[in-house]
């Protein structure tokens, strides 16, 4: 099994395609950072224009912490694509290349092979998020400095003390990793049905985009559906950036408004991962390899 | 007719003498405040606005005559009522461009105060009306209600302690009206269920905002570089 | 002689197509086993079932005396295969591909082993080149090197000469003979071209439409004195019962509802005729075929095969 995992990782990291994702993330992030470095003031003014007409913000809100949050939000759409680029190719790519039949006639069970492949794509996903964290968080902290984090939510704003932020990012990135592994598991599941990698990649993205739209729409019939859509839970990392308040409306340092929501979302995602992986193994074991 | 004229005259006169009184009182208060050419204070700021979740924050406040004011919060970001906190006592009565009117007496926090209404004589003044509750014995402003053209009405309540001799409060409470705050969920990318936002909306019904600053120490008249006031 | 492969009653049904129907055959140690049939006859399906890529609908596959379903891992460790096109990882070099598949086959190859293997298939000087720069023939040879790297007892080559030029075909043929003679490997090689197989095979299986037509030693099958005789009767079942109980039983090849095939010495055909009458078999026709080649060409009547064959 360890040999299989090593081989799968070797294959992933020997492919030029793998590095597209790392380059893409670096490019996107450095463009945003460059733009904010040049013209952060006007972006800040735009954000701070007024909150509710009666308050004004004093100080520079454009610091490393806020920038990382903005980027995580923006990249929410891109990172699943980059994850799917590899995970949705894990089986279908081999079928397309013609190596699948050779691989499956080797003395390993299909279950072992799938687990090794899933593990390898998970390692890739984790590395992608570590890369994202390095660039979006640490580099931004280095370029823009740190400070209090000011966030505008739909019905209130949150101000988090600068020494209360970092651990939230640790949690957020851990959660985001779980969310991206879910995307990876979906792509992986779809990849067992196809003999080219474009189909599963497009299918994975379509499902995510479609579900995300359902999750975003505020229409009563869809609202009932929302808790069951995994896309609703993909962004629960944001819950780390909401604080509880005490009776005098004073935010409590180190608190999270809805810890239960994070736990629920994490559980929903874990169930999805296990379901996708389980279904992949079950179906793939019965599948005749004709490619 | 004559009676009426007389009574009018008397009324005018009494009004004038009252105004004179009040102007003197304000001048006295101002003289006391003028003892302070600059100060640097440390304290804690607490923001209590329905749609703001902010923790208690350490602040440093700088003041320099005539009206330089700067509040610096540790961590860099502070949420303040628009145009509010910088309206401190000295800047309100720094100018002489107002008419002071007596408007009775009141008890604030167990202290008898005179109510003085200040009407700006300058048409372009941002301030429409300021009502001061002045502790005549100690020449301290206990409470000030300022109505502005653009930013609504503020209330400032001040408690005094160790630095009352300079007219500097230990605690200032700003109260002000807040307007509604709402951003579309599409912009904030929130997928919250509707029940959650309902309860938030209910919270919003409390439209009164408060910012409390509790000062723990002042350094008075030790000189402050102008650079501090540059944002 | 040990039986390396024993296939019994192997059947594969895809939705409404029976790709392989009740196929039985056996491969002995040291055989170069020619597996012949036109495209779509079921060769690849059979080979894929032997490699556990396709699950049989019915039937049983035993290899090295073990059941494939139960001892898949042990069996596959001893099998090397090139399945249809020799596809490998194009973004890796020949050396890296060989190393990767060696490890997948359960061995830790030394650099020398890999280079020796590449030497054998004539790719030593291309070891570090990415496979995407390789010609079809080079890929085919690399595929064979991959099939051999873990020193398996049984080598399965599915259409190894597909898409190769005459020189490439000759190279592969020589390689197969070398593997058989020098390294004593058991080899199953499939093809739709009879002339390719007849030069190297020691035993032969011909299938058509998923069913066995002929199986036997190459020497006897290709013996010019031997003739395939096709018999049609009013009651083939009865005829078959009778033949199985007679001295002709050993010569029976394949039977179905339409015809019974026997491989007999040309001189014995009149005796067969007489015996059939004696057994009260109601004969419709008795047709001798000239040779196996003649017969194969007839059953694989697609024009392309004849064209290719005439090359």
User: DSSP labels for A89-125?
Assistant: TTTHHHHHHT-HHHHHTSSS-HHHHHHHHHHHHHHHH
Distance from CA of A10 to the nearest CA of B (A): 37
Q: What is the domain class of B2-229 according to CATH?
A: mainly beta
Phi and psi at C22, nearest 5°, equal: 50, 50
List the single residue in A4, A6, A15 with the smallest CB-CB distance to C91: A15
Evaluate if residue A281 carries a pLDDT over 90.
yes
Percent of chain C with pLDDT over 90: 22
Reported ipTM: the value is 0.82
List the single residue in A52, A53, A223 with the smallest CB-CB distance to B194: A223
Phi and psi at B152, nearest 5°, equal: 75, -160
Distance from CA of A271 to the nearest CA of C (A): 30
C81 to A108: CB separation less than 8 angstroms, yes or no? no
Residue B84: what pLDDT?
60
In angstroms, how far is CA B8 from the centroid of its own chain?
A: 36
Round to whole Å and give the CA distance between A87 and A191.
Answer: 8
Round to whole Å and give the CA distance between A217 and A240.
Answer: 23
Report strand pairing: B140-148 vs B153-160.
antiparallel
* Rounded mean pLDDT, C207-214: 83
B52 to A50: CB separation less than 8 angstroms, yes or no? no
A271 versus B69: which is more confidently predicted? Answer: A271
Residue C276: what pLDDT?
86
Q: At what angle do helices A259-286 and A166-191 cross, to 10 degrees?
A: 20
Q: How many CA atoms lie within 13 A of A93 on its CB side?
A: 20
List the single residue in A52, A56, A162 with the smallest CB-CB distance to B80: A56
B189 touches chain A (CB under 8 A): yes
Q: Kindly report, residue by residue over B28-54, the tens digit of the pLDDT.
A: 888 888 888 888 889 998 888 888 888
Cβ-in-10-Å burial (0-12, 13-18, 19+) of A129 comes to buried
A106 to C104: CB separation less than 8 angstroms, yes or no? yes
Round to whole Å and give the CA distance between C173 and C180.
Answer: 11
Q: Which long-range contacts (CB under 8 A, 24 or more apart) does A113-116 make?
A: A113/A4, A114/A277, A114/A280, A114/A281, A114/A284, A115/A1, A115/A277, A115/A281, A116/A1, A116/A4, A116/A5, A116/A7, A116/A8
Residues 114-143 of chain B whose Cβ lies under 8 A from any Cβ of chain A: none
Distance from CA of B192 to the nearest CA of A (A): 8
C-alpha Rg value of chain C to the nearest Å = 21
Is C touching A (3+ C-beta pairs, cut-off 8 A)?
yes
Confidence grade of residue A290 (pLDDT, cut at 50, 70, 90): confident
B78 touches chain A (CB under 8 A): yes
- Pick the residue of B44, B48, B53 with the most A CBs within 10 A to test the interface with A by mutation: B53
Q: Kindly report, residue by residue over C18-65, the tens digit of the pLDDT.
A: 888 888 899 988 889 999 888 888 888 999 999 999 999 999 999 998
Is C touching B (3+ C-beta pairs, cut-off 8 A)?
no
Evaluate if residue B199 carries a pLDDT over 70.
no
The answer to whether B178 and A54 have CB atoms below 8 angstroms apart is: yes
Chain C residues with CB-CB distance to A109 below 8 A: 72-73
Residue A274: what pLDDT?
95
B53 to A161: CB separation less than 8 angstroms, yes or no? no
CA closest to A257 among chain B residues = B53
The answer to whether B197 and B68 have CB atoms below 8 angstroms apart is: no
Length of chain C: 311
Token duo for residue B127: 């301030």
Domain parsing of chain B, residue ranges:
2-229
> Which among B166, B135, B171 is positioned nearest to B156, based on CA atoms?
B171
């Amino acid at each position: 099994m360890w040999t299989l995992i090593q081989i799968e990782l070797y294959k992933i990291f020997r492919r030029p395609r793998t590095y597209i994702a790392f380059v893409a993330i670096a490019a996107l992030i450095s463009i945003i950072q460059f733009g904010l470095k040049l013209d952060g003031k006007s972006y800040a003014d735009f954000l701070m224009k007024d909150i509710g007409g009666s308050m004004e913000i004093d100080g520079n809100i454009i610091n490393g912490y806020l920038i990382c949050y903005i980027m995580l939000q923006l990249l929410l759409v891109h990172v699943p694509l980059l994850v799917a680029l590899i995970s949705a190719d894990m089986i279908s790519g081999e079928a397309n290349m013609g190596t699948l039949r050779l691989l499956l006639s080797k003395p390993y069970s299909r279950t072992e092979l799938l687990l090794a492949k899933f593990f390898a794509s998970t390692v890739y996903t984790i590395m992608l998020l570590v890369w994202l964290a390095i660039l979006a968080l640490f580099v931004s902290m280095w370029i823009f400095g740190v400070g209090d984090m000011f966030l505008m939510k739909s019905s209130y704003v949150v101000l988090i003390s600068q020494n209360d932020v970092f651990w939230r990012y640790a949690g957020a990135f851990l959660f985001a990793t779980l969310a991206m592994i879910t995307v990876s598991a979906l792509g992986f599941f779809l990849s067992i049905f196809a003999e080219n990698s474009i189909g599963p990649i497009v299918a994975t993205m379509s499902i995510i985009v479609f579900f995300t739209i359902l999750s975003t729409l505020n229409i009563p019939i869809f609202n009932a559906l929302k808790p069951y859509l995994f896309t609703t839970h993909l962004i629960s990392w944001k819950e780390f950036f909401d604080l509880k308040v005490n009776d005098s409306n004073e935010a409590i340092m180190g608190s999270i408004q809805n810890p239960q929501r994070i736990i629920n979302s994490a559980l929903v995602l874990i169930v999805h991962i296990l379901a996708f992986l389980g279904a992949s193994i079950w179906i793939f074991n019965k599948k005749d390899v004709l490619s | 007719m004559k009676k009426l004229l007389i009574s009018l005259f008397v009324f005018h006169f009494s009004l004038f003498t009252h105004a004179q009184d009040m102007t003197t009182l304000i001048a006295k208060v101002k003289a006391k405040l003028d003892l302070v050419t600059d100060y640097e204070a440390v304290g804690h700021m607490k923001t209590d606005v329905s749609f703001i979740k902010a923790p208690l924050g350490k602040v440093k406040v700088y003041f320099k005559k005539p009206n330089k004011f700067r509040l610096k919060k540790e961590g860099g970001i502070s949420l303040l009522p628009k145009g509010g906190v910088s309206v401190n006592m000295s800047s309100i009565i720094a100018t002489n461009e107002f008419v002071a009117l007596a408007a009775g007496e009141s008890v604030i926090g167990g202290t008898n105060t005179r109510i003085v209404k200040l009407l700006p004589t300058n048409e372009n003044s941002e301030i429409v009306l300021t009502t001061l509750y002045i502790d005549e014995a100690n020449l301290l402003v206990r409470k000030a209600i300022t109505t502005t053209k653009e930013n609504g009405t503020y209330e400032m309540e001040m408690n005094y302690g160790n630095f009352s001799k300079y007219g500097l409060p230990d605690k200032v409470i700003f109260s002000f009206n807040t307007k509604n705050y709402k951003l579309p969920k599409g912009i904030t990318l929130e997928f919250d269920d509707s029940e959650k936002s309902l309860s938030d909306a209910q919270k919003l019904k409390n439209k009164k905002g408060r910012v409390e600053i509790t000062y723990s120490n002042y350094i008075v008249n030790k000189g402050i570089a102008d650079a501090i006031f540059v944002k | 002689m040990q039986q390396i492969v024993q296939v019994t009653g192997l059947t594969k049904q895809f939705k409404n197509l029976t790709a392989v129907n009740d196929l039985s055959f056996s491969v002995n140690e040291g055989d170069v086993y020619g597996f012949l049939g036109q495209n779509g006859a079921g060769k690849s399906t059979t080979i894929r079932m032997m490699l556990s890529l396709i699950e049989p609908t019915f039937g049983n596959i035993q290899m090295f005396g073990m059941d494939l379903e139960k001892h898949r891992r042990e069996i596959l460790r001893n099998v090397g295969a090139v399945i249809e096109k020799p596809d490998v990882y194009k973004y890796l070099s020949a050396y890296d591909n060989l190393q990767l598949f060696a490890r997948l086959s359960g061995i830790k190859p030394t650099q020398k082993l890999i280079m020796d293997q590449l030497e054998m298939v004539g790719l030593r000087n291309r070891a570090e080149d990415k496979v995407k720069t390789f010609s079809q023939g080079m890929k085919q040879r690399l595929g064979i090197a991959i099939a051999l790297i873990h020193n398996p007892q049984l080598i399965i080559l599915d259409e190894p000469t597909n898409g190769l030029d005459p020189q490439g075909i000759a190279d592969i043929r020589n390689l197969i003979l070398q593997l058989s003679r020098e390294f004593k490997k058991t080899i199953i090689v499939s093809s739709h071209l009879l002339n390719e197989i007849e030069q190297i095979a020691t035993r032969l299986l011909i299938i058509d439409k998923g069913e066995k037509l002929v199986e036997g030693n190459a020497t006897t099958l290709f013996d010019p004195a031997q003739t395939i005789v096709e018999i049609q009767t009013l009651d083939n079942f009865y005829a078959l019962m009778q033949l199985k109980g007679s001295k002709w039983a050993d010569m029976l090849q394949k039977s179905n509802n339409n015809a019974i095939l026997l491989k007999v010495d040309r001189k014995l055909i009149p005796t067969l005729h007489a015996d059939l009458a004696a057994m009260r078999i109601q004969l419709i026709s008795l047709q001798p075929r000239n040779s196996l080649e003649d017969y194969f060409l007839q059953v694989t009547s697609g024009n392309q095969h004849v064209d290719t064959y005439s090359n």
